[in-house]
Amino acid sequence: MKNKWENKNFFNALKNSLNGIFYVIKNENNIKIELIFAFFTIIASILLKINLIETILIVFVIFLVLFAECINTAIETVVNLYTEEYNEKAKIAKDISAGGVLIVSMLSVIIGVLIFLPKIIKIFLVLI
């Protein structure tokens, strides 16, 4: 017997997944900022003609950051459902979740620097 929360089929699951993504984009400012960074990173990738492995890494970390933000929003939503009053354990859960996003974001910056900085330096050296 299925409960009311179960998806009836693949298309229902897909619709619910898209609803979740659109909810995060509509309601969370951080993901909007992350999407802007992702857009400019993709533009830089095209302009700097990064190779296939570098492209895979860039796409991977972009999706990883967006995924982390979705998980963070889900955890914060569940914590808010549990309590509206200040609760130290609720704060810890939210802080850890946000910390996870920060860790993945730092990874993306490190990978971005490792990929883009040598190419940017090379361009400047040619211009000098």
Q: What is the pLDDT of residue 128?
A: 84
Q: What is the pLDDT of residues 81-119, one digit of tens each?
A: 998 889 999 999 999 999 999 999 999 999 999 999 999
> How much is the pLDDT for 35?
98
Domain count for the chain, please give it: 1
CB neighbours of residue 74 within 10 Å: 14
Residue 27 lies in a domain: yes
pLDDT greater than 80 at residue 1:
no
What CA–CA distance (Å, rounded) separates 93 from 40? 32
Residues 6+ apart with CB under 8 A from 68: 100, 101, 104, 105
Q: Which domain range does residue 107 map to?
A: 10-127
pLDDT tens, 20-71?
999 999 999 999 999 999 999 999 999 999 999 999 999 999 999 999 999 9
* Residue from 58, 64, 91, 72 nearest 29 by CA: 72
Which tokens is 1 given? 């017997």
* pLDDT score of 5: 73
What's the CATH number where 69 sits? 1.10.287.3610
Q: Does any domain span residue 85?
A: yes
